[in-house]
Amino acid sequence: MTKRAIHKKYANTAKESGFLPHIAYDSVIFGFDGETLKILILEYHNTKLFALPGGFVKVHESLNDAVRRGLHDRTGLENIYLEQFHTFGSLERFVPATIEQIMLNNGHLNSGEEHWLLERFISVGYYALINFNEVNPQPDTLSDRCEWYPVNELPPLMLDHHEMVQKALQTLRDNINKKLVGANLLPEKFTMKQYQQVYEAILGEKIRRTTFQRQILGLDILKRHEKQFLGKAHKAPFLYSFIK
């Protein structure tokens, strides 16, 4: 065995790993299950730490591509709707002990060892809107679970991830009338009630049925299809889809 063949199991510097140092992204992945707005949360092995799915940017990769790559790995989806909402750069978010704990518990680090992931990071926050039913979330090597949580019932999140969620949600609310939010959270065809529930879940409040319908239909962005028979004891609703 030559000297050259002796190598560490993991890259301990950013350069070795091929990533830009000090820069990360975290993603708030929203899905709608028909009733409530949910987001994907990771739980790390052997810790009680919950976190947003995140990742790093390769040296020759754009920031947007890095986020798309990470989301594809986790959800299998290709054309995900993505919005960047804020970049987090406080000193308070630099807590190497937390990262160290995660890596030690996963055997990705020896105690006392230096590692680029233990340095300070500035993180760019993105949110994604995906179709809840098309996804089977995959945990990564550091985490043993990747599960949906209602935005109102999140576990305690590490670092500033709770603040990230709140800021993502606020941005989503601000954008609700600008960016055709429903198209990405709903299935191809949906009822007016489902669409209204998406709005209510995002805004966190009830809205008036008649006013909502009047406004949405007035936008001329929906196509009306045949009625949907739900097996419920009342008039069947129409189905709608978005006009491309």
Partner DNA sequence: AACTTATTGTCTCATTTTGTGACAATAATA
Partner DNA sequence: TATTATTGTCACAAAATGAGACAATAAGTT
**Site residues (CB under 8 A) for a second copy, limited to 196-215:** none
Q: What is the nearest approach in angstroms of DNA to the Cβ of residue 208?
A: 5
16 binds a second copy (CB under 8 A): no
What distance in Å separates the CA atoms of residue 65 and residue 76, rounded to the nearest whole number? 15
Interaction residues for a second copy, span 124-163 (CB under 8 A): 124
Residue 49: exposure state from Cβ atoms within 10 A (0-12, 13-18, ≥19): buried
Six-digit token string for 234: 């009342």
CB 238 within 8 A of CB 223: no
Q: By CB under 8 A, is residue 173 in contact with a second copy?
A: no
Do 14 and 114 touch, CB atoms closer than 8 A? no
DSSP 182-197: HHHHS-SSEEHHHHHH
Residue 219 touching DNA (CB under 7 A)? no
The Cα-based distances of 90 to 93, 94, 173, 184 in angstroms read 6, 8, 24, 32
Binding flag, residue 122, a second copy (CB under 8 A): yes
Interface segment toward a second copy; rule CB under 8 A; list 73-81, 116-124, 130-138, 234-242: 116-124
Contact with DNA (CB under 7 A): which of 102, 135, 164, 192?
A: 192
Which CB sits closer to DNA, 27 or 196?
196
The candidate with the shortest Cα–Cα distance to 92, out of 44, 158, 41, is: 158
Q: Which does 229 bind (CB under 5 to 8 A by kind): DNA, a second copy, none?
A: DNA
With tokens 């679970």, the residue in question is 145
Q: Which stretch binds a second copy (CB under 8 A): 82-90, 187-195, 206-214, 215-223?
A: 82-90
Say which entry of a second copy, DNA, none residue 50 contacts (CB below 5 to 8 A, set by partner kind).
none
**Contacting DNA within 158-187 (CB under 7 A):** none
* Chain residues in the site for a second copy (CB under 8 A): 20-23, 57, 59-64, 66, 84, 86-91, 120, 122, 124, 174
